[in-house]
Amino acid sequence: MVAKLILEPAGPGCWDEPLHITVRGLAPRQRVTLRASLRDEKGALFQANARYRADAEGELDLERAPALGGSFAGLEPMGLIWAMKPDKPLGRLVKRDVQKPFVVELEVLDGHQPDAGRLLARALRERHFLPPGVRRVPVRAGRVRATLFLPPGEGPFPGIIDLFGSGGGLCEYRASLLAGHGFAVLALAYFRFEDLPEYLSDMRLEYFEEAVDFMLQHPKVKGPNVGLLGFSKGGDLCLSMASFLKGITATLLINACVANTIAPLHYKDMIIPDLGNELSKQKITESGLLNLVDIWKNPLEEHNHRSLIPLEKAQGPFLFIVGLDDHNWKSEFYAHIASERLQAHGKNKPQIIFYPETGHCIDPPYFPPSTASVHAILGEAVFYGGEPRAHSRAQEDAWQQIQIFFQKYLNGKKSVQHSKI
């Protein structure tokens, strides 16, 4: 018999869709190794492999068969994707151009030696970041530098503004994937992009206000409010937007601080100073990576109070997504501060979801968890935390929670059906 590698759904799929991997035509109980690989847009190689044994019928179904070792072990239907590691140290898989898919190569090799086994079957699968029918619209409106992703159909659609962290630039992959789930999403750059400032210095909230106005005036965006989705530095910017700007009804933060960080924030005649840090408190891990979790000053200490964002002024609900092994800063501590502050001012308690053994970068599902990458501010390799298996589980669940939250508060859907993830 000839081994056959079957991938479902057939044909190209979206990155956040689960991929069902089956091998047929093997000998009964045959030992095989499955290997997955892809190259990013700069040509860097990412790979994972796992050892399996076929069943008595010569079939291998990754939804039923546990891996016996390799890059991971146990029942992990998408392990070959999330367990990919870079060929070179400290690499992190990032999608820069959502108009081009990643091409994943899957191979079935005889035996349990991934570099020596005879090739039995091979398949390529495109994994897209621009879902079918989603329109990508570059935005250069006034000062706003962004990309708007619109779902297929007439609309209008519930609107979300998506902000990333201190790496800068324009990150589109989360916005493009969310648009495939029925949201109009504005991926907003705020520095290190085109004619925007090269560095985080004095931030102006009027820039973000202009982005909110753009969304609310767009004929494809369902008003009268929009939601905010912010990660890391983008999270505290979203908190400031929700606290001071009109037209915002739901705010979701991923590992965010409750104080303004890195640079002072200006709005009209107001200035919120940055929290500040003490670099002398940084630590070096056994692997030679920086651990920054202790460098940030405590926003509860009196001389740091001015950096706290008055989130009690915000309208609408909050959801805090927190990795309990975040080594960038104390996300759990900050989420508790937010909860106590809101309740002290008679506001509803925010929803907080804690993910054990999960680090700072909780991306959409199946991005290989990265414990180290280059920090944009310090120019050093930084330890972000997280155990790969737990981190992957958190990515899957958080992606569902993001959709449920915004469907409920932007689209009025009280119950949302979970996908297959």
Would you please indicate which residues are annotated as catalytic (active-site) residues?
232, 326, 360
Cβ neighbours for 133, distance < 8 A, ≥ 6 positions apart: 151, 152, 153
> What gap in Å lies between CA 182 and CA 204, rounded to an integer?
30
> What gap in Å lies between CA 329 and CA 314, rounded to an integer?
24
- Give the H/E segment covering residue 343: helix 331-344
Ramachandran region of residue 173, left (φ > 0), alpha (ψ -120 to 50) or beta? alpha
Query: In terms of residues, how long is the chain?
Result: 421
Total Cβ atoms within 10 A of residue 325: 21
Residue type, 77: P
Q: At which residue do the structure tokens 């590691």 appear?
A: 85
Total Cβ atoms within 10 A of residue 305: 10
Residue type, 106: L
CA distances 207 to 31, 42, 117, 274, Å, are 58, 32, 57, 18
Total Cβ atoms within 10 A of residue 56: 7
CA distances 150 to 132, 178, 187, 365, Å, are 11, 10, 11, 21
Nearest partner of 297 among 320, 321, 281, judged by Cα: 281
